[in-house]
């Protein structure tokens, strides 16, 4: 997919996804011309440079900047043909306390990425979303929904440019910073794992699967779709049992802005949602992209009008043993239940 003239930039490139994406691209496409990590934290960039030394990865560049700064984005995008937008503020409680900061980064920063890509002859853009953007109940989810809309609508103003914008939306990334599994692994040492609600469920995806989805979107998306993967769910009680079977598990109540079950496709989305096989695609309501997908492959099917994709009603759930194996594979190779 990436040839010896490809120039790729990833915003938020020092995050969990960014590092996994960079590692995969460098391993799979060592001939790539340039791979730019764009982020605002100099320490994280320095730490990442130790992992990817210049003498071994001369195609890798580190560019300090903030998506809030459109001029800096334009400078970073000179000569770039592909952009992955992963930069975001993500912590739900912090968003409730500091709403304008999340709006400035996730919404206005997303618009800056859109406008800079339109200005700088970028050809492919994939923006990362979250399950919390579907029927949002917290400010973080609301800002990501706004961001999703900005990237999808950008296809309406691309004119004759060879440019397409798409969005990928997936669930909780196993082992990512701030997620429940690393939290439980740390808290298990204390002998107590706090459970928010015994009925709570979440979608689950590995970093590797998230990276593969973005690469698939870069190669296959037509522009204008919001892609959702078919992935399993887990029960929060099963995660606790997998990590700390001997731990106490008190019920502490959900935090402000949390849902019992996460959604990725709502019933309201169903009229414009199509099944692509490994992924669903939520398409614009005007129907033009839907007809292109239906004409492209007889296996592309519209979902039923009452369809919804919810972590609680998902038919695919991970067992306690499956969770333990996934933690060993994706989070901590030295993991042992306590």
**In 3D, which of 6, 56, 327 has the Cα closest to residue 183?**
327
At 258 the pLDDT is 85
Domain for residue 32, yes or no? Answer: yes
- The number of folded domains in the chain is 1
In a domain, 35, yes or no: yes
Query: Quick check: is 80 in a domain?
Result: yes
Q: Which of 15, 153, 140 is nearest to 84 (CA)?
A: 15
- Is residue 155 one of the residues assigned to a domain? yes
> What is the Rg, in whole angstroms, of the alpha carbon atoms belonging to the chain?
20
Specify the pLDDT at position 172.
84
pLDDT, average across residues 71-93: 96
For 253, list phi and psi in degrees, rounded to 5.
Answer: 90, 150
Residues 6 or more apart whose CB falls under 8 angstroms from that of 89 comprise 95, 101, 102, 105, 106, 140
- CB atoms under 10 Å from CB of 204, counted, come to 27
Active-site residue flag, 132: yes
Inside any domain, residue 270? no
* Residue 149 belongs to a domain: yes
Task: Look at residue 179 in the predicted model and tell me its pLDDT.
Answer: 80
Average pLDDT over residues 264-277: 95
Q: 84 is in which domain, residue-wise?
A: 7-169
Closest CA to 36 of 87, 90, 97, 77: 77
Give mean pLDDT, residues 5-12: 97
31 located within any domain: yes
Residue 176 has pLDDT above 90, yes or no: no
Nearest to 134 by CA among 228, 217, 35: 228
Q: Residue range 251-262: average pLDDT?
A: 88
In whole angstroms, give the CA distance from residue 205 to residue 191.
Answer: 27
Of the residues 132, 149, 160, 208, which is catalytic? Answer: 132
Question: Residue 84 sits in a domain of what CATH number?
Answer: 3.40.50.720
Checking if the pLDDT of 254 tops 90, the result is no
pLDDT in tens, 110-160: 999 999 999 999 999 999 999 999 999 999 999 999 999 999 999 999 999
User: In the prediction, which pLDDT does 115 show?
Assistant: 98
Please indicate, yes or no, if residue 217 is contained in any of the structural domains.
no
């Amino acid at each position: 997919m990436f040839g010896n003239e490809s120039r790729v930039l990833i915003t938020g490139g020092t995050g969990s996804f960014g590092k996994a994406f960079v590692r995969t691209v460098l391993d799979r496409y060592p001939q790539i011309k340039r791979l730019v990590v764009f982020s605002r934290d100099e320490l994280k960039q320095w730490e990442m440079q130790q992992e990817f030394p210049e003498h071994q990865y001369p195609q890798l560049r580190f560019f300090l900047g903030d998506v809030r700064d459109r001029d800096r984005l334009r400078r970073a995008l000179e000569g770039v043909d592909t952009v992955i937008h992963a930069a975001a503020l993500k912590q739900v409680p912090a968003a409730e306390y500091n709403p304008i900061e999340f709006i400035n980064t996730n919404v206005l920063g997303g618009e800056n990425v859109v406008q800079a890509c339109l200005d700088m002859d970028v050809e492919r853009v994939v923006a990362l979303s979250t399950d919390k953007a579907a029927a949002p109940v917290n400010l973080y989810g609301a800002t990501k929904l706004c961001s999703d809309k900005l990237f999808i609508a950008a296809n309406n103003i691309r004119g004759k440019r060879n440019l397409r914008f798409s969005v990928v939306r997936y669930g909780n990334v196993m082992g990512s910073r701030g997620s429940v599994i690393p939290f439980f692994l740390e808290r298990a040492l204390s002998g107590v794992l706090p459970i928010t609600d015994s009925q709570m469920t979440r979608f689950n995806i590995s970093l590797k699967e998230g990276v593969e989805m973005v690469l698939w979107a870069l190669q296959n998306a037509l522009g204008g779709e919001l892609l959702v993967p078919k992935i399993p769910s887990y029960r929060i009680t099963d995660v606790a049992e997998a990590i700390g079977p001997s731990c106490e598990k008190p019920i502490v109540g959900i935090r402000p802005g949390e849902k019992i079950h996460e959604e990725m496709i709502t019933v309201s989305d169903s009229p414009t949602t199509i099944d692509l096989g490994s992924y669903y695609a939520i398409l614009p309501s005007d129907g033009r992209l839907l007809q292109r997908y239906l004409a492209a492959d007889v296996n592309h099917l519209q979902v039923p009008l009452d369809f919804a994709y919810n972590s609680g009603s998902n038919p695919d759930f991970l067992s306690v043993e499956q969770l333990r194996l996934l933690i060993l594979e994706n989070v901590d190779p030295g993991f042992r239940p306590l």
